Structure 1
Amino acid sequence: MRVLSIQSHVAYGHVGNSAAVFPLQRLGHEVWPVLTVNFSNHTGYGEWRGPLIAAEDVAEVITGIGERGAFATCDAILSGYQGSPEIADVIVDAVAQVKAANPEATYTCDPVMGNATSGCFVNPAIPPKYRSTIIPVADLLTPNQFELGFITDRDGLSGASSLESVLEAVDEVRALGPSTVLVTSVVRIGAPEDSIEMLAVTGDEAWLVTTPRLPMKANGSGDITAALFTAHLRTTGSAADALARTASSVFAVLRATHESGERELRLIEAQDAIASPANEFVVEQVR
């Protein structure tokens, strides 16, 4: 599989393309990373250096890839942290170009906006662009529960919620365009104590997986999740299988990170679990 990945980049640590590219490559996929920012480190540190890349420069890089005739062989487009609202139009144009060259290509949007702990941490002009511009052209959307609530104006999703409430919000988002939605961090009323869940919804089916919640904050975990689920869904054709493999690999990365006592994801240490997920978590069909 060949993936055009339009996301942020950091030199130190693993978020954005710095989190997504290596796992995809470890699975044997070709990745064409296009950077929206080139920062020293992720913004969660409170300080960082490096440039926000202008939308026209991002577009130029994508144009250059297209001039190599690559779009006809592109299987998936993946986008994450955008940096500026103008990037949304660049992404939509890239999706249109790729799909014109290869109608079988799919577009995954990870709508990076924030989380329940930090709130919304992007430019306030970016979230409206997701709903109006990007989500309608996405095939797969991978919000966390907070972002799902933000998109659908459901403040209640910022905390523990019923599965029914989450599914209702997912259905609302799917009506905007995406055929498949992966909610990457479901906090469900009635879930086992000290657990975290992911929910995949496609067609008339919904699948839930539960993993232990580790006592840590992991910047970049959503970026890995979006990349891995995209890859596994394309290669297996099964949302349930993709969910099982993704949950297994992401948990392994988080566990290695927690055990290391370090802040940045231990992607390299856990690479074998990315290449060969153990599938140790049961995926339950909930619809």
Structure 2
Amino acid sequence: MRHQADLPSHVGNTMAEFVMQSLGCEVAALNTVHFSNHTGYRQFKGTRATAQEITEPYQGQCQSNLTDFDVMLSGYAPSAAAVEAVGAIGIDLQKKAENKPGSFFWVLDPVMGDQGRLYANDDVVPAYEKTIHHADLILPNQFEAEVLSGVKITSLSTLAEAITAIHRIYSVPHIIITSVQLLKLSQSGSTPSPPENYLTVIGSTTRSNGSPRLFRIDVPALDCFFSGTGDMFATLTVARLREAVDAASPDLRNTASWVSPNDVEPSNLPLARTTIKVLSSMHSILERTMEARDAELAAASSLNGDSRGAGKARLPASHKSS
């Protein structure tokens, strides 16, 4: 049984708790917002947690000796103060585990914006910049990677520059950029473009000298819009990465940040193997979701005498839920 601390929003935790518990994780969830539904529906009610409301439940867990966590996943935080409160929890858990390398691993999703714009407050950016260097793995989208690295991603070479910069600036050992619009980037002659209607995920684990080990995975896009895919990706990654680390080497779990030796090729990294498995699972789940949606809409159309059937919306190349 794996003990996980989980600090996304209420709507994110609705996804996260189910996924991680289904994979055998014991989850202690702490909500950073309390919304009625996903904001992707464009109408919702609820409140955003203050820093105190984030900190006090954790303090209660500390008082009762309930902080034996080996992984922490942090996601959307509604303010700079909330980012700092979540960061303080992660740092405290790291200190508790500092005498046992590899016994605590922090996955941080720096939810700030997408599609070229911030949807968080401006002061959230410097708060994340102060926090990220404590994390073991971060999951930015393309826009967030640009914000954190200071590199505008216009080609595969600038994408590599951005990842290298994040490794260097924040000393974060693992990165997955969860959505890259590769067809829109300049291609080198030696790098094949993905087929049309594919999405690309790029990841890296550092070597001991800080240089990246880049891997790339192309996955078919689905002709549908989904909310919560970012939450599903993050939580599946939490569960599957530990499995991949255990399978790679008995000693890797006792290595700081689970960083593989320098001689491990990018395609054999536990992070790369994890990403492949996560994307495969997501594709299967989302295909079944589409089938169920189509069946429901067809039934509704039949009842209403509407023969036009269900319209389809495009799944964006970059989508992150809050």
Give me the TM-score of the superposition, normalised by structure 1: 0.82
1:139 match: 136
Q: 2:199 aligns with which of 190, 196, 201?
A: 196
- The amino acid across from 2:162 in the alignment is A
1:206 match: 214
Taking the aligned partners of 2:159 and 2:291, their CA distance within structure 1 comes to 32
Count, aligned residues: 250
CA, structure 1 residues 54+47, in 2 after alignment: closer, same or farther (shift >3 Å)? same
Taking the aligned partners of 1:143 and 1:43, their CA distance within structure 2 comes to 19
Structure 2, unaligned stretches of length 5 or more?
184-192, 208-212, 246-269, 295-322
1:253 match: 285
2:49 touches 2:82 (CA, 8 Å); kept in 1? no
Q: Does structure 1 residue 28 correspond to structure 2 residue 24?
A: yes
1:74 touches 1:102 (CA, 8 Å); kept in 2? no
Q: 2:167 aligns with which of 174, 179, 183?
A: 174
1:62-85 C-alpha deviation (Å, 9 max, x unpaired): 1112222122x2111111010121
Q: Which runs of 4+ in 1 moved over 6 A?
A: none
Q: 1:164 aligns with which of 133, 157, 169?
A: 157
1:5 match: 6
1:112 match: 111
- The amino acid across from 2:127 in the alignment is K
2:122 match: 124
1:76 match: 71
1:37 touches 1:51 (CA, 8 Å); kept in 2? yes
Q: Does structure 1 residue 186 correspond to structure 2 residue 180?
A: yes
Taking the aligned partners of 2:271 and 2:158, their CA distance within structure 1 comes to 21
2:151 touches 2:161 (CA, 8 Å); kept in 1? no
2:236 match: 228
1:241 match: 273
CA, structure 1 residues 184+87, in 2 after alignment: closer, same or farther (shift >3 Å)? same
Taking the aligned partners of 1:116 and 1:7, their CA distance within structure 2 comes to 21
1:142 touches 1:181 (CA, 8 Å); kept in 2? yes
Give the 3-state SS of the residue equivalent to 1:86 in structure 2. Answer: helix
Give the 3-state SS of the residue equivalent to 2:107 in structure 1. Answer: strand
Taking the aligned partners of 1:95 and 1:106, their CA distance within structure 2 comes to 9
1:142 touches 1:183 (CA, 8 Å); kept in 2? yes
Give the 3-state SS of the residue equivalent to 2:162 in structure 1. Answer: helix
1:164 Cα deviation after fit: 2.4
Structure 1, unaligned stretches of length 5 or more?
11-15, 263-287
Give the 3-state SS of the residue equivalent to 1:199 in structure 2. Answer: strand
1:57 Cα deviation after fit: 1.2
1:130-173 C-alpha deviation (Å, 9 max, x unpaired): 11x22111110001112111222334x3xxx4332222111111
Taking the aligned partners of 1:217 and 1:149, their CA distance within structure 2 comes to 24
- Over the matched positions of the two proteins, sequence identity in percent amounts to 30
1:221 Cα deviation after fit: 0.8
Taking the aligned partners of 1:164 and 1:256, their CA distance within structure 2 comes to 36
Q: Any residues of structure 2 matched to 1:37-76 within 5 Å, and which?
A: 37-71=33-67, 73-76=68-71
1:149 touches 1:169 (CA, 8 Å); kept in 2? yes
CA, structure 1 residues 217+120, in 2 after alignment: closer, same or farther (shift >3 Å)? farther
**What value does the CA root-mean-square deviation take over the aligned residues?**
1.7
1:110 touches 1:223 (CA, 8 Å); kept in 2? no
- The amino acid across from 2:5 in the alignment is L
Give the 3-state SS of the residue equivalent to 1:18 in structure 2. Answer: helix
1:205-258 C-alpha deviation (Å, 9 max, x unpaired): 222111101123322111111121122222211112211111111212222233
- Give the structure with higher Rg (CA): 2
- The amino acid across from 1:25 in the alignment is Q
CA, structure 1 residues 127+218, in 2 after alignment: closer, same or farther (shift >3 Å)? farther
